[in-house]
C-alpha cells in the first residue's frame, strides 16, 4: 500500500467519524422552536405529532411559541395514552373537535412544575374559556406530583419532556378528553319541557287514575290540574 493511499483512507475514516458524531453534538435544533422536532426527539409521540399536523395546530403552536409573551405549555399524551382510548375514539371526532381536543392540551402560558401548585381551577386552555363549564381542566398537586382532571379522565403529569423560557412540554399518561366533546350533552333549554307534559297526561289519566297524583304534594296536584285543563281545552275545541 502506498503512503498516499493510506493517508486517503485515514482521512476518509476521520470524516465518517465526524459525520457519525455530529447529530449528538447538536442536541437542540437550531432556529425557531419546532414542537414536532421536540416530540420526535422524545420518542413515543407519533400519534400526537400526526394529530398536530392534520389539525394544522403544529404551525399554529410554533408561531405562538415565538410570538407569545407568556409562553406556552403543552400536555403531551404518549402513544400508549392514545392507544388505550376506546377504539374509534379519534375517528369519531369531526375536524373541528380534533382541533378542540388538541387545543385542550395547550395552556396559553409557560408553567413550571411548581407553577402548577398555584394555578386556580378550572384552568384556562386554548380550547376556550372555562366560563361555560364545558372545558374545565383542574389541577391537584402533592409536592411535585401533578394530577389533572377533566371531569372525564384523571391523568398524571409523568415527566418533563422539554422546557425553556417560552415553552414547557410535559408527558401525560392519558389523553385529556374534554367534557364538551365526551361528556353528557349540555342541559336542554327550558322551552322543550311543556311539550313533553301535555300530550302524555290525558292518556295516563285514563289508564291509572292515581299516576299523576302519586308523586304527591303540590307539584303532583299542579300537574294534574294542567292535565285536566288540557283535556278541557281539547274538549272545548272539538265541540
Ligand X SMILES: *[C@@H]1O[C@H](CO)[C@@H](O)[C@H](O)[C@H]1NC(C)=O
Which residues form the interface with ligand X (CB under 6 A)?
A: 34, 36-37, 40, 121-122, 136, 138, 140-142, 147, 149, 151, 153-154, 156
Q: Choose among 82, 100, 94: nearest CA to 155.
A: 82
Q: How far is the CB of 39 from ligand X (least distance, A)?
A: 8
> Measured from the CB of residue 168, what is the shortest distance to ligand X in angstroms?
18
Rounded to a whole number, what is the distance in angstroms from the first to the last CA of the chain? 121
Q: How far is the CB of 184 from ligand X (least distance, A)?
A: 13
Q: Which is nearer to ligand X, 121 or 144 (CB)?
A: 121
**CB of 102 vs ligand X, minimal distance in Å:** 16
Output the smallest distance, CB 37 to ligand X, in A.
4
Q: Which is nearer to ligand X, 176 or 227 (CB)?
A: 176
CB burial string 218-234: b at 16+ within 10 A, e below: eeeeebbeebeeeeeee
What residues are paired with 51 via a beta bridge? none
Closest to 105 measured CA to CA, from 165, 68, 58, 43: 58
CB of 154 or CB of 228, closer to ligand X:
154
Q: Considering beta carbons, is residue 25 or 142 the nearer one to ligand X?
A: 142
Residue-wise DSSP of 96-141 = HHHHHHHHTTEESS---TGGGGGPPSSPPBTTB-GGGSSS--EEEE
Roughly what angle, to the nearest 10 degrees, separates helices 193-207 and 217-238?
Answer: 80
In the complex, residue closest to ligand X by CB:
151
Which C-beta is closer to ligand X: that of 170 or that of 201? Answer: 170
Contact indicator for 103, 85 with CB cutoff of 8 Å = no
Identity of the residue, 93 or 158, whose beta carbon is nearer to ligand X in the bound complex = 158
In whole angstroms, the minimum distance from the beta carbon of 38 to ligand X comes to 8
Amino acid at each position: 500500500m502506498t503512503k498516499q493511499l493510506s493517508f486517503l483512507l485515514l482521512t476518509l475514516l476521520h470524516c465518517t467519524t465526524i459525520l457519525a458524531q455530529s447529530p449528538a453534538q447538536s442536541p437542540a435544533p437550531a432556529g425557531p422552536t419546532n414542537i414536532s422536532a421536540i416530540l420526535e426527539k422524545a420518542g413515543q409521540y407519533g400519534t400526537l405529532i400526526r394529530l398536530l399536523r392534520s389539525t394544522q395546530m403544529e404551525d399554529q403552536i410554533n408561531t405562538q411559541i415565538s410570538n407569545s409573551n407568556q409562553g406556552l405549555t403543552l400536555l403531551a399524551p404518549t402513544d400508549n395514552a392514545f392507544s388505550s382510548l376506546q377504539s374509534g375514539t379519534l375517528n369519531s371526532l369531526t375536524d373541528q373537535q380534533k382541533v378542540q381536543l388538541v387545543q385542550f392540551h395547550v395552556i396559553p402560558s409557560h408553567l413550571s412544575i411548581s407553577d402548577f401548585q398555584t394555578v386556580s381551577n378550572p384552568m384556562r386552555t386554548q380550547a376556550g374559556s372555562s366560563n361555560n363549564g364545558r372545558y374545565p381542566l383542574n389541577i391537584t398537586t402533592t409536592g411535585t406530583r401533578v394530577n389533572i382532571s377533566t371531569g372525564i379522565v384523571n391523568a398524571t403529569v409523568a415527566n418533563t419532556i422539554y422546557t425553556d423560557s417560552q415553552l414547557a412540554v410535559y408527558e401525560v399518561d392519558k389523553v385529556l378528553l374534554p367534557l364538551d366533546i365526551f361528556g353528557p350533552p349540555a342541559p336542554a333549554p327550558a322551552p322543550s319541557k311543556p311539550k313533553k307534559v301535555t300530550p302524555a297526561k290525558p292518556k295516563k289519566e285514563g289508564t291509572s287514575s292515581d299516576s299523576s297524583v302519586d308523586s304527591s304534594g303540590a307539584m303532583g296536584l299542579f300537574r294534574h290540574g294542567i292535565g285536566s285543563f288540557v283535556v278541557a281545552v281539547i274538549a272545548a275545541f272539538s265541540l
